[in-house]
Amino acid sequence: MDQSLEIRDASLGEIALVFLKLGTIAFGGPAAHLAMMEEEFVRRRRWITQAEFLDRVATANLIPGPSSTEVAIFVGQLKRGWRGLIVAGCCFIIPAAAMVSLIAWAYVRFGSLPKVEGVLSAIKPAVVAIVIQALGKLGKTALRTPLLALIAGLAAMLSLMGVSLVLVLLLAGSISVSTLALKNRLLLSAVFPKVVGLPKFIGGAIAVSAIGAAVPVAIGRLFLSFLKIGSVVFGSGYVLLAFLQTEFVQRLHWLTNKQLIDAVAVGQFTPGPVFTTATFIGYVVAGWRGATVATIGVFLPGFVLVAVSGPLIPRLRRSAIASAALDGVVAGSLALMAVVTWQLAKASIVDWRALAVFGVSLLVLLRFRVNSAWVIAAAAMVGWALH
Q: Domain-by-domain residue ranges, the chain?
A: 1-115+145-346
Higher pLDDT: 181 or 22? It is 22
Q: Residue 282: which residues within 8 A CB-CB, separation 6 or more? A: 222, 226, 290, 291, 292, 293, 294, 295
CA–CA separation, 50 and 45 (whole Å): 12
Using CB atoms within 10 A of its CB, is residue 178 exposed (0-12), middle (13-18) or buried (19+)? middle
| Predicted local distance difference test score (pLDDT) of residue 235 | 54
Mean pLDDT (whole number) for 327-337: 86
CA distance 16 to 12: 6
How many CA atoms does the CB half-sphere of 44 hold within 13 Å? 14
**pLDDT attached to residue 383:** 85
Can you give the pTM of this predicted structure?
0.74
Mean pLDDT, rounded, of the chain: 83
pLDDT class of 303 with cuts at 50, 70, 90: very high
Residue 25 pLDDT class (50, 70, 90 cuts): confident
What pLDDT sits at residue 366? 87
- Percent above pLDDT 70 for the chain: 86
pLDDT in the model for residue 117: 65
Query: pLDDT digit string (tens) for 252-278?
Result: 889 888 888 788 778 877 888 889 999
pLDDT above 90 coverage of the chain, percent = 41
35-63: average pLDDT: 92
Question: How confident is residue 116, by pLDDT bands cut at 50, 70 and 90?
Answer: low
- Which residues are CB-contacts of 335 (< 8 A; sequence separation ≥ 6)? 151, 152, 153, 154, 155, 156, 159, 168, 172
In angstroms, rounded to a whole number, what is the distance separating the alpha carbons of residues 274 and 277?
6
Q: What is the mean pLDDT of residues 126-132?
A: 84
194-221 tens-digit pLDDT: 444 444 444 444 333 333 333 444 899 9
CA–CA gap between residue 24 and residue 273 (Å, rounded): 10
Torsion of CA 279, 280, 282, 283, to 10 degrees: 120
> What's the mean pLDDT in 229-249?
75
What is the DSSP code string of 332-344?
A: HHHHHHHHHHHHH
Average pLDDT, integer, range 26-39: 87
